[in-house]
A and B are shown apart, each in its own frame.
Chain A
Amino acid sequence: MAVRLPEGNLQDRLERYLGKFRDHHELEEEEIEGNVVRVAVKPEDVPAVLTTAREALNILHLSFITVVDREGSFDLTYELLDLRGGIVKVKTAIEGEEPVIESVARIYPTANWHEREAYDMFGIAFRGHPDLRRPYMWQDHFDHHPLLKSFEISTKRTFEGLR
């Protein structure tokens, strides 16, 4: 069994990706810039959009999940590569102090550790994740999430003085 990688013209392929997303899902924003298809969706639509990408469009590789703390909301970027020049960025924003989003580890198994990392660093709960433990911080005795903007490091003042 061999993995089938996409072929053909890159621009046509990107148009096809965006068309498929547009047909099946409600997109808040959409654009094609260079080799990147950028779509913004509601957080509850993320698993469905990624399922379309994985199953219908055969985009095989989830590169990473970036979380950005916007103080009050969290921006999530799921970066998907089709391994032949095309990039799909699925963006979403979750509101609230205790953010929850559906896990995509069942669609892209590689998301397992990316989500664990995001949980460790930001405290985002991924619903339905198979194994949501903290990869870096102490599981039982560390109650903070270090990449939150509200978590201040002790040397911060020093750097501010220098600037």
Chain B
Amino acid sequence: MLQEERRHRTETITLSGRESERLSRPDIRDEFGLETMDMNMGPQHPSMHGLLRLILELDGETVVRCDPVMGYLHRCQEKIAENRMYPSVIPLTDRLDYFANMHNEHGYCLAVEDLMDIEIPPRAEYIRVLMCELMRLASHIPSVGFLLLELGAFTPILYGFRERERIQNIFEAVTGARMMFHYIRIGGVKADLPEDMPEKIWNYVEDLEKTFKRDFIDLIEGNEIFISRTRGVGKMSQEKAVEMGLTGPPLRCTGVDFDVRRDYPYSIYPELDFDVVTDEAGDVEASYRVRIKECYQSIRIIKQVLEKMPEGAVMADLGRRLRPPEGEGFGRVEGPRGEFAVHVVSDGSDIPYRVHYRDPSFVNMQLLQEIVPGHYLPDIMPIMGLVDPVSGGWDK
């Protein structure tokens, strides 16, 4: 019975990206005998998320085939990591998904700590979670702005980047850098928060909570153009979302409530009180709503962390040279785009034998070749806003 089901699945799998398939499908020609047209979108397209090239096959204005081509930003980070000592890999992880630097660092450090069985001081855990949630805000808010920018609205991206700028100021005061932090270290964090920082962060999130509705929700929701461009666009079922291995907002907007922070808890998330936001519609508008609601959850988490933050050291004493024992370590965190997982294999020396990143941008982008066909050409950009991939993430 299993065998039969497997054969059935083989037949139903879509063979996107195959030239031969196009030639063997005469039905693409219309009554005038006209063929479809191939069109290249990117890698240097003004509204493309980074360096992505889409090979599109168009029938009039309808997309018949969409084939993402990656590799324009590929640095083979996994190979570079195999030639560096364990702590020196952390700055590289910053360059993966550059809208989720803190999550990447956190995931890698969790993997090495899992390998070495390190207990880290409680204050460091709280600071890590605080930084990660700020990072999530600094990613979700411009993401919403990008989505609107692609629909032709210019204001939300300015508001989005204004908020991101204020969060980056916080990061700069805490870590010394605005984007490439190298802040979360194996065994803790680089430095304690500056004296007045908890209060400043508290004031900032209070302010954000008050102005968020005015600046984003009231501006966007209910707008006729926004609704007509996003409602029902990129619609997918729960089965499709799970089948394609989606995580993060693209999965949750279909109604599957999966969040690594709750279902595979790490750090201090079990002690915190937050909701996993889901939506039923499974289209671009739903993913927008999920991102907006997650911002409120992040603010809620930040406030709890600031209230509960204990005193104490921020770094475990590990000695200067890390020599993890032979074995494997796993780290899994919920980034703004979904599940970010790191697999570190050690051979007992001071450089990793193998580092593997599972980046949500890479996996979620598979969705493009499944749901873009059938949509109009201008709908591609809202769908990119649903998936919200980041170039550094899918290219490693």
Q: Are A109 and B244 in contact (CB under 8 A)?
A: yes
Q: Are B78 and A121 in contact (CB under 8 A)?
A: yes
Q: Are A56 and B350 in contact (CB under 8 A)?
A: no
Q: Are A153 and B79 in contact (CB under 8 A)?
A: yes
Complex formed: what's the CA distance from A130 to B237 in Å? 23
Q: A106-B6, A155-B83, A163-B350 are contacts. A84–B263 as well, Cβ < 8 Å?
A: yes
B363 surroundings in chain A (CB, below 8 A): 64, 110, 113-114
A 52-79 to B, binary, CB cutoff 8 A, 1 in contact else 0 = 1001100011111011110000000101
B76 surroundings in chain A (CB, below 8 A): 136, 146-147
Other-chain residue from A77, A87, A106, A136 in contact with B9 (beta carbon distance below 8 A): A106
Shortest Cβ distance from A50 into chain B, in angstroms? 10
Q: Are B13 and A64 in contact (CB under 8 A)?
A: no
Other-chain residue from A2, A106, A155 in contact with B238 (beta carbon distance below 8 A): A2
B79 surroundings in chain A (CB, below 8 A): 146-147, 151, 153
Q: In chain B, what residue has the closest Cβ to A130? A: B15
Those of A107-161 within 8 Å (CB) of chain B: 107-110, 112-114, 117, 121, 130-131, 133-138, 146-147, 151, 153, 155-156, 159
Q: Interface size bucket, A side?
A: 35 or more
A133 surroundings in chain B (CB, below 8 A): 17
Is residue B71 contacting chain A, with contact meaning CB distance below 8 A?
yes
Shortest Cβ distance from B130 into chain A, in angstroms? 25
Those of A8-35 within 8 Å (CB) of chain B: 35
Complex formed: what's the CA distance from A66 to B344 in Å? 10
Q: Are B245 and A110 in contact (CB under 8 A)?
A: yes
Complex formed: what's the CA distance from A109 to B367 in Å? 11
B258 surroundings in chain A (CB, below 8 A): 5, 61, 83
Q: A60-B242, A61-B242, A107-B6 are contacts. A113–B83 as well, Cβ < 8 Å?
A: no
Other-chain residue from A1, A105, A136, A153 in contact with B395 (beta carbon distance below 8 A): A136
Q: Are B243 and A110 in contact (CB under 8 A)?
A: yes
Complex formed: what's the CA distance from A156 to B80 in Å? 9
Q: Interface size bucket, B side?
A: 35 or more
Shortest Cβ distance from A131 into chain B, in angstroms? 5
Give the A-B pair count, Cβ closer than 8 A: 122
Complex formed: what's the CA distance from A87 to B265 in Å? 13
Q: In chain B, what residue has the closest Cβ to A114? A: B363
Complex formed: what's the CA distance from A81 to B255 in Å? 18
Is residue B18 contacting chain A, with contact meaning CB distance below 8 A?
yes
B300 surroundings in chain A (CB, below 8 A): none
Q: In chain A, what residue has the closest Cβ to B68? A: A135
Is residue B388 contacting chain A, with contact meaning CB distance below 8 A?
no
Q: In chain B, what residue has the closest Cβ to A62? A: B245
Other-chain residue from B5, B71, B80, B358 in contact with A153 (beta carbon distance below 8 A): B80
Complex formed: what's the CA distance from A135 to B394 in Å? 10
Q: Are B356 and A66 in contact (CB under 8 A)?
A: yes
Q: Are B13 and A130 in contact (CB under 8 A)?
A: yes
Complex formed: what's the CA distance from A47 to B10 in Å? 13
Complex formed: what's the CA distance from A110 to B5 in Å? 17
B74 surroundings in chain A (CB, below 8 A): 136-137
B 258-274 to A, binary, CB cutoff 8 A, 1 in contact else 0 = 10000110000000000
Q: Are B242 and A3 in contact (CB under 8 A)?
A: yes
Complex formed: what's the CA distance from A146 to B341 in Å? 21
17 contacts between A and B (CB under 8 A): A35-B264, A55-B2, A55-B5, A61-B242, A63-B332, A66-B345, A77-B343, A85-B263, A106-B9, A106-B10, A108-B243, A121-B78, A136-B74, A136-B396, A137-B71, A151-B79, A163-B85
Residues of A within 8 A of B (CB): 1-3, 5, 35, 47-48, 51-52, 55-56, 60-64, 66-69, 77, 79, 81, 83-85, 87, 105-110, 112-114, 117, 121, 130-131, 133-138, 146-147, 151, 153, 155-156, 159, 163
Not counting A3-B256, A113-B366, a sample of 8 additional A-B residue pairs whose C-beta atoms are within 8 angstroms of each other reads: A61-B245, A63-B332, A109-B13, A113-B363, A130-B15, A131-B16, A136-B70, A147-B76
Query: Which 5 A-B pairs give the minimum distances between C-beta atoms?
Result: A110-B245, A64-B358, A136-B71, A3-B238, A136-B74
